[in-house]
Amino acid sequence: MTVNAIRQRPGLYIHVPFCAAKCPYCDFYSVPLSAYASGREAYLTQTCRIIRHLPEEFPGFSPDTLYLGGGTPSLLGAEGLLRILETASEVLRIPADGEITLEANPGTVDFSMLRTLRQGGFNRISFGVQSAEASELAFLGRRHTAGDSRQAVQWAWEAGFPHISLDLMLGLAGQTRETLARSLDFCVSTPADHLSAYLLKIEPNTPFFRRQVQNLCPGEDGQADLYLAAVEGLEERGFRQYEISNFARDGQYALHNLKYWEGTEYLGIGPGAHSYWAGRRYSIPRDLKNYLAAPSLAGILEDEGEGGTLEEYLMLRLRLAEGVRASELNRRYPSAGCWEELCRKALPFKQAGLLSLSPDPEGGFIALTPRGFLVSNALIGKLLF
């Protein structure tokens, strides 16, 4: 299957803003569940209410992917998660063969819960494994062990999940090519068919930032070395890179996430979630109380401006290993006439090994190489301006 073969129905993202505790590097919006005794029930009631209003507010919205991310969605329990899925399936007519993904942390699931979720319609699960090394997990402040990860994946497989994805982190304190290779071996020894590998980024307003943890981590060159080792190591182990940070076995791409990079519409529900709908981008404030008091989704969206511009399309599309296709670019932006200009600007970077390029106006393409992905922001900026 190629990326272009993906169906173009919209996606639905639901942000679950609860975690057992806050990890010291994390910038996602989440609050400790224990601090909100009644928060779980209030969140579930409000989220199902918002979903029921979607057909009036967003006529024609009929997604074929649903992604419950967070936060730690598994903390809602099987009953809570199925309430959301059943409401969305009924109201929005999500097809039974659509991609229905749940994010979960190892250590927050058991076999019985996973079997209930699978029987209820979830068909993809993504575990935040991060590393198979005890010292790296301790550095990240994670509460699970590699043994928890192995057990969780095994349970998901036995419960019948056909698609399992694992998250890994790169650029950790003390991480070397050897420890990374052990984490890669760990992941590929499981039934997972998809892996995401993200470089640790120290965000402001996190404990890691305040503690200046970047001084303990590999520098720019070390990070680049680990990233390229991950790309090569995963290719050797049968996982093909299809996006800057994403790899799949046997073409099992994450269909929901592909919608983000392909410029397909999606709606996001929950505090901190983003939407792209009818040519505009929106966000919901990162505030649980505000979310719980919202009259509806349209009543809480903040307008982030125009979406779907040529610049945005190129920035998103160049994240994919497949890159930008001349035919698709000309079809989407017929008056832009920019293909030749883009090729002219890209040529020096081809010679530097940062991208591959075929200038043919029909079958041509521009695609970043793994070395190009490492400097993608600067490189895409040079192609655009």
Closer residue to ligand SF4 in complex, CB, 254/368: 254
Question: What tokens does 254 get?
Answer: 């994450």
Closer residue to ligand SF4 in complex, CB, 22/286: 22
Between strands 302-306 and 274-277, the pairing is unpaired
Binding site for ligand SF4 (CB under 6 A): 19, 22-23, 26, 28, 30, 70-72, 105, 128
The answer to whether 170 and 196 have CB atoms below 8 angstroms apart is: no
Closer residue to ligand SF4 in complex, CB, 70/271: 70
Alpha-carbon radius of gyration of the chain: 21
Q: Cβ 289 to ligand SF4, closest distance in Å?
A: 19
Residue 71, preceding peptide bond in cis (omega within 30° of 0): yes
Q: Cβ 168 to ligand SF4, closest distance in Å?
A: 13
Q: Cβ 130 to ligand SF4, closest distance in Å?
A: 8
Closer residue to ligand SF4 in complex, CB, 71/98: 71
Closer residue to ligand SF4 in complex, CB, 149/264: 149
The one-letter code for the residue type at 119 is: Q
The answer to whether 101 and 156 have CB atoms below 8 angstroms apart is: no
Q: Cβ 30 to ligand SF4, closest distance in Å?
A: 5
Q: Cβ 324 to ligand SF4, closest distance in Å?
A: 32
Residues 43, 41: Cα–Cα separation, whole Å: 5
Closer residue to ligand SF4 in complex, CB, 144/325: 144
Q: Match 């890209």 to its residue by tokens.
A: 346
Q: Cβ 137 to ligand SF4, closest distance in Å?
A: 12
* Residue among 324, 301, 322 at smallest CA distance from 311: 324
Residues 233, 235: Cα–Cα separation, whole Å: 6
- Contact residues for 311 (Cβ-Cβ < 8 A; gap 6+): 384
